[in-house]
Structure 1
């Protein structure tokens, strides 16, 4: 979760004044500050290559770029920096960034006297920078260094922070075309997610699990933030084992490792009534048994986390990030710890925030 003060989290549970700001940039040059925004939303989806996307209504038809590539809202390199905050009674505002978005489309809604803008985070720029020839990985780099190199080739100077501490070396592999697919493969080889955060910077982070301390409580009742919710329990996309393997060369079999859910208290315990249901993952970046085992353990945390799913609406907390752990307490007093998969932050002061979560853990009192 983006770091905010205790006062910010406390204010979310009471009546508070919401502030919004959207500024337009081209590179480091501010084109226009505080665009007139009448609505929209930022959607964050940890399962998507482009984690953060923007839908925005600009209440000024004069900003329609038409055919001018240098216009403020022209989709030729302009970026929108979006913030949502709380203004305190003393007049000070605490801001939370919601993302830095490349403008993708602009549509003039004549009847509504407004402009509809869509945007995507900086992963879209990296994704577009496809390899023009078969490219070999730099084996002199660690996997973290190679991820950073591939990102900064497309976005020179953009910070890429590593939170994994991984030191594994990059194997000798070739990539044909898709740069972001190569980055994802490298991340999976060290059990990491790679994404752009709310400030527009690259992050290499360990795959999330529910074992970390909850970042926020979503609860009902007095001073609670929950508006509504539904619960679903399903085994359709749930697995309790992962088989991770490299690619053989035709003469020798590929290296492989299998990891099971070995917790007897887990509803997906591999020797329990759930049965055995393995998930298979193959990557050319896995060249040792240890690498296969690391990748399998990281994936296991995701594929066993689909036993319990929640769709919630609550008071918007713009500081949340996909992969955060949240504690959810229902009106009947039961509580569950969940991973936050995706959510939508509205760009208006009155709409509730929608969230989708998952958890392998049963409810507790």
Structure 2
């Protein structure tokens, strides 16, 4: 979660004035501040190596922002810094950064008019912009030759080395480890950075201030509550259901020994009333696990049961919620969602943040464990049972 004041958070619970700013930078120099945004949004997805994408339309009454080489909203080095916030009662304005975005493409529609001297001049332009966060610089800077980490390298030292000079580096609050044995870099610098972050069970991304950031993927305590009340900000909830990863049996086996076949055992999901139970309407959907450490049927049975139990406990549901925009929430933040029918704690997977008040609600995708979802009776408002 991005740092903010309590007054900012409290203002979101009532009707408020939205404040958004867009500044154009080039080569570390501010070119134009307070660009007039017509509309737009910032989309962030924790599952993407380039986490954030900006699409917006900018009005330019003079036409001076029409891209021309290195000038204007140029895709050849231009960056947009986007902030969104509120006017707090009393008049103060507080905003948070939604990111620094490298312009990828523009589509400028410019009109012309005659001035009083009879000359044709710009009558203004509408410029559509597509931009990606600063991890796109890591993606662009592909490795010229395959290679491997130097002797004694750690994951964090390699991430710093691979990204140095491409975007600012921040302090990483992640425990370091040696580089995984046998790691080889191919052409993609971004894939190499992602692999090193995965080894630390973390995500590498360009943070809101444009610096390289590493965040653990493990869920934390919830930092915000979306509630289906007048002040709770929650407008709608829909569930995204999928068969992907919903296995109802685990086959665990060892390795064959000469002419002897590998020992194996099977564990099934026989949870009563489970929609994915083995031999139920869902069907038979096994997954397989093998290990050279499995030498006996008993070991195979234990391994299969352990993994089946883990799959059942770890089953997830995806929810898509529409809510009053909360600009300081980020992917991987944990939130509480409470409706008259459901209550659960989940982790934000994606955030679609509108840039203007006219853009309406923000859209969040939340991943929640089935075991932590409580179904309520909407007619009573009391506690219910876990889903």
Q: Bin the TM-score by the shorter chain.
A: 0.7 to 0.9
Secondary structure at the aligned position of 2:191 is classed as helix
Match of 1:119 in 2: 131
Q: Give, in whole Å, the separation in 1 of the partners of 2:131 and 2:368.
A: 30
Correspondence 1:138 to 2:150: yes
Q: CA deviation at 1:190?
A: 1.9
Q: Give, in whole Å, the separation in 1 of the partners of 2:313 and 2:178.
A: 26
Asked whether the 8 Å contact 1:238–1:307 carries over to 2, the reply is: no
| Distance change >3 Å, CA 187–CA 20, structure 1 → 2 | same
Q: Give, in whole Å, the separation in 2 of the partners of 1:133 and 1:241.
A: 44
Point out where structure 1 has 5 or more consecutive residues left out of the alignment.
243-259, 281-296
1:327 to 308, 330, 336: 336
Q: Give, in whole Å, the separation in 2 of the partners of 1:176 and 1:121.
A: 23
For residues 269-300 of structure 1, the C-alpha deviation after alignment (integer angstroms, 9 at most, x for no partner) is: 999x99864699xxxxxxxxxxxxxxxx9xx9
Q: Give, in whole Å, the separation in 2 of the partners of 1:305 and 1:19.
A: 40
Secondary structure at the aligned position of 2:57 is classed as strand
Higher relative contact order (CA 8 A, sep 6+): 1
Secondary structure at the aligned position of 1:161 is classed as coil
Q: Aligned runs of 1:210-289 on 2, under 5 Å?
A: 212-238=220-246, 277=287
Q: Give, in whole Å, the separation in 2 of the partners of 1:241 and 1:137.
A: 39
Secondary structure at the aligned position of 2:38 is classed as strand
Secondary structure at the aligned position of 2:86 is classed as strand
Q: Aligned runs of 1:17-36 on 2, under 5 Å?
A: 17-36=17-36
Asked whether the 8 Å contact 2:175–2:200 carries over to 1, the reply is: no
Moved over 4 A (4+): 110-113, 238-242, 267-271, 273-276, 303-306
Q: Aligned runs of 1:87-236 on 2, under 5 Å?
A: 87-110=87-110, 113-155=125-167, 158-169=168-179, 171=181, 173-209=183-219, 212-236=220-244
Tell me how large the CA RMSD over aligned residues is.
Answer: 3.4
Between structure 1 and structure 2, the one with the greater Rg is: 2
| Distance change >3 Å, CA 238–CA 34, structure 1 → 2 | farther
| Distance change >3 Å, CA 307–CA 279, structure 1 → 2 | farther
1:341 to 346, 349, 356: 349
Q: Give, in whole Å, the separation in 1 of the partners of 2:226 and 2:289.
A: 32
Q: CA deviation at 1:240?
A: 9.2
TM-score, structure 1 length as denominator? 0.78
Secondary structure at the aligned position of 1:126 is classed as helix
Asked whether the 8 Å contact 1:229–1:313 carries over to 2, the reply is: yes
Secondary structure at the aligned position of 2:171 is classed as strand
Asked whether the 8 Å contact 2:180–2:199 carries over to 1, the reply is: no
Match of 1:16 in 2: 16
| Distance change >3 Å, CA 28–CA 310, structure 1 → 2 | same
Point out where structure 2 has 5 or more consecutive residues left out of the alignment.
112-123, 251-266, 291-306, 375-382
Match of 2:119 in 1: none
Match of 1:65 in 2: 66
Asked whether the 8 Å contact 1:64–1:108 carries over to 2, the reply is: no
Match of 1:254 in 2: none
| Distance change >3 Å, CA 176–CA 357, structure 1 → 2 | same
Asked whether the 8 Å contact 1:344–1:355 carries over to 2, the reply is: yes
Q: Give, in whole Å, the separation in 2 of the partners of 1:270 and 1:185.
A: 35
Asked whether the 8 Å contact 1:139–1:172 carries over to 2, the reply is: no
